[in-house]
Chains A and B, each alone.
Chain A
């Protein structure tokens, strides 16, 4: 119940395309859903986050779509750029502030 399931494991997108990463959770106690971006050799960095009372949040080229009834959320990267190539982790907070990460998606944007 504490798991967050993420797919796909890896993703290759052409420059200018749309990257879509999906996550699903079971625990309805989760109340905050961030996405983290991690470059090789670096720590995860917050990209964008959403709360379950909102169905969509957009920041620049990054959009989170949230489906509370299905317990699913996804990250869309519009106009994907080679500089977006990184590993992306979805995550969920439980009540105590413990961040549960998904398995990660390695995104490669080809020029």
Chain B
């Protein structure tokens, strides 16, 4: 069964450092998303991406965040200068439809900022 894969599974970083989280969406999907989940809280939307550009972003997704699809398979989330409050589980998701279809989530990348 096709799946969304994410790396790394866990990253520990110092405050102020840059972090890149990587995702390989399901191959025929066209819509890509990043969500985050702070421990014990709900899953929050960060950004959606389609046709090589951001479709929508939340207020959480400020100038410290960026996304990129550097090649035909990877989808990355970069945090330029991490803050303590960026510590969370980050989930990548993909879909073959917008608004009507299922989002397939990866297993997440746990980011710990010290």
Contacts and interface: CB of A to CB of B under 8 A. Distances in A.
A60 interface: no
A32 B100 contact: yes
A97 B102 contact: no
Interface in B51-97: 55-56, 91, 93, 95, 97
Q: Select the residue from B31, B48, B98, B105 with max chain A CB neighbours within 10 A.
A: B105
A89 B44 CA distance: 11
Interface stretch (A61-69, A76-84, A101-109): A101-109
A28 to B, nearest CB: 15
Interface in B13-46: 31, 33, 35, 41-45
Contacts, number: 64
B105 A32 contact: no
Contact of A103 (B42, B45, B97, B108): B42
A33 B47 CA distance: 19
A87 B111 CA distance: 21
Q: Select the residue from A45, A89, A97 with max chain B CB neighbours within 10 A.
A: A97
B103 A89 contact: no
A41 B108 CA distance: 8
Interface of B: 4, 31, 33, 35, 41-45, 48, 55-56, 91, 93, 95, 97-100, 102-108
Interface of A: 31-32, 34, 36, 41-46, 49, 89, 93-104
